[in-house]
Homo-oligomer: A and B are copies of this chain.
Amino acid sequence: MATVPIVSDERASARVRGIFDDIRETRGTDYINDFWRALANHPDELERLWAQLKTTMAPGALDPLTKELLYVAVSIANACAYCVHSHTAAARAKGMTDAQHGELLEVVAMAQRTNALVTALGVPVDAVFDRAPDGG
């Protein structure tokens, strides 16, 4: 199932094949997952997104594993099954242990629980949390 054709290596244009090659080299695996093959129907978006993703997920003030855990957390909150599967696999490839996975699930489940309670109680934001007291 998909709303667009899945682009195989054979059907890919030279431009798309070049991006696929960069995905393979960057990730150190020959496997291109179907998200990229579907996005390849829109080469501009494919190129832009992959370039940005490489920058976003590179080591910086946060390490790559922490970034990947954040990605999984957002994907869970968004109920995106594909995203949960692909980024959980990516987190494992970057060293996530079973214990870390367990704690990730626990933090996300706790956040879902308190997010709901906060909304249910309708409490306005405490003034002490404001970082823009003058101009905001």
Please report A residues at the B interface, Cβ cutoff 8 Å.
Answer: 1-8, 31, 33-35, 37-39, 41-42, 44-45, 48-49, 52-53, 56-57, 60-62, 66-67, 69-89, 97-126, 128-132, 134-136
Q: How far is the CA of A112 from the CA of B39 in the complex (A)?
A: 16
Residues from chain B with a CB closer than 8 A to the CB of A45 are 102, 105-106, 109, 117
5 pairs of residues in contact across A and B, judged by CB atoms under 8 Å: A1-B136, A34-B126, A66-B69, A74-B112, A80-B119
Q: How far is the CA of A130 from the CA of B60 in the complex (A)?
A: 30
Of B42, B100, B129, which is within 8 A of A105 by CB? Answer: B42
Q: Is the CB of A42 within 8 A of B102?
A: yes
Q: Is the CB of B108 within 8 A of A1?
A: no
Residues from chain B with a CB closer than 8 A to the CB of A97 are 61
Q: Is the CB of A124 within 8 A of B34?
A: yes
Q: Is the CB of A70 within 8 A of B111?
A: yes
